[in-house]
């Protein structure tokens, strides 16, 4: 016959139960904690999806911008938009040689001759044509390069972003001039620098193509900027692109000078002397304002602009070494 538990044992069990039973306050606190955790999880999930939605919106805008850039570059009037990189670079090389030939022909000298003679007739009408053709060919080459990056390199992110910025520069910042082409060359050059700087190494084009591009840039700098070959040879590809941009900006300034003032083409040669008051855009190496300087090395074509007031300004297109007299 089983034994009946003692009353003391029952009371002990009751006390133990009361001690282990959660209190109402504890239950409410646990419920609040669970509710707070669930709410925090929902907030985090909401923020996650909100972030994804914002990323998607940014991505959509970027892709729309890239598409607009592609349409912008491919819909322009350049007849060479379908060329591949190799063909484009070869044509660019040809055009740069043509530019050099034009300059040499107008100056009446052979490209192999180092000394640049003074022009006999600086007001020859072909001078204006030379600047126009040079500017037109330069912009055509830069725009074609943008198109080639679309057609031959593919639209990976770095190219797409660069093209979008290039299009923005051209459409939003590009002013209109009285020159042969409607878009400011400096803007095109800025787009060119952005595109080459961010994509040239990651484009996947061959080392031979990059070498061909570098050679083309060298021809521009030597043929149009007046840089010595040994100086150009030491420049990295990015530095060459920057120098091209400076050239484009100078071309724009010269075109404006030609259209707004009487002009005279000036070809400085060693021994020519200039005072500080007639020099412009030659850097900070001039020294004392009262000094008279002479050209220490052959510099490139300059433009002597005569304003209506009679004040003469000598513009030098290239970096030159000026020696105090």
Q: pLDDT tens, position by position, for the chain (325 residues)?
A: 555 555 556 566 555 555 566 667 777 777 778 888 888 887 888 788 777 767 767 766 776 776 676 666 655 544 444 444 445 444 544 544 444 444 444 444 333 333 332 222 333 444 444 444 444 455 555 555 555 544 544 444 555 566 666 666 656 554 433 333 334 444 444 544 544 444 445 544 455 555 555 555 565 555 545 556 666 667 766 666 566 555 555 544 544 444 444 434 344 455 555 554 444 433 333 344 555 555 444 334 344 444 445 544 444 433 333 444 4
Rounded CA gap, 70 and 61, in Å?
14
* Token couple for 135: 């500017």
Within 13 A of 166's CA, how many CA atoms are on the CB side? 34
At residue 297, φ and ψ (nearest 5 deg) are -135, 155
Neighbour-count burial for 74-84, b at 16+ CB within 10 Å, e otherwise: eebebeebebe
- Spans of all domains in the chain: 61-73+80-260, 261-325
């Amino acid at each position: 016959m089983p034994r009946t538990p003692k009353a003391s044992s029952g009371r002990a069990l009751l006390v133990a139960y009361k001690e282990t039973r959660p209190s109402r306050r504890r239950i409410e606190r646990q419920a609040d904690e669970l509710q707070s955790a669930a709410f925090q999880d929902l907030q985090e999930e909401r923020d996650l999806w909100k972030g994804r939605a914002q990323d998607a919106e940014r991505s959509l805008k970027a892709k729309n911008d890239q598409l607009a850039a592609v349409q912008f570059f491919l819909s322009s009037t350049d007849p060479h938009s379908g060329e591949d990189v190799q063909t484009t670079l070869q044509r660019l090389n040809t055009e740069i040689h043509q530019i050099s030939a034009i300059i040499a022909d107008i100056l009446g000298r052979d490209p192999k001759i180092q000394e640049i003679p003074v022009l006999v007739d600086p007001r020859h009408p072909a001078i204006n044509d030379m600047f126009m053709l040079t500017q037109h060919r330069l912009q055509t080459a830069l725009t074609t390069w943008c198109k080639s990056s679309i057609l031959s390199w593919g639209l990976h992110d770095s190219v797409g972003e660069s093209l979008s910025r290039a299009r923005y520069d051209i459409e939003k910042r590009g002013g209109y001039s009285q020159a042969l082409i409607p878009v400011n060359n400096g803007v095109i050059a800025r787009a060119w620098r952005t595109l080459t700087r961010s994509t040239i190494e990651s484009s996947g084009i061959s080392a031979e193509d990059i070498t061909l591009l570098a050679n083309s840039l060298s021809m521009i700098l030597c043929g149009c900027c007046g840089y010595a070959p040994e100086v150009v040879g030491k420049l990295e590809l990015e530095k060459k692109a920057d120098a091209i941009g400076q050239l484009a900006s100078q071309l724009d300034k010269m075109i404006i000078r030609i259209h707004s003032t009487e002009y005279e083409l000036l070809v400085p040669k060693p021994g020519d002397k200039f005072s500080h008051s007639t020099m412009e855009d030659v850097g900070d190496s001039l020294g004392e304002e009262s000094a008279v300087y002479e050209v220490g090395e052959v510099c490139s074509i300059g433009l002597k602009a005569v304003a209506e007031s009679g004040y003469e300004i000598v513009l030098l297109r290239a970096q030159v070494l000026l020696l105090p007299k």
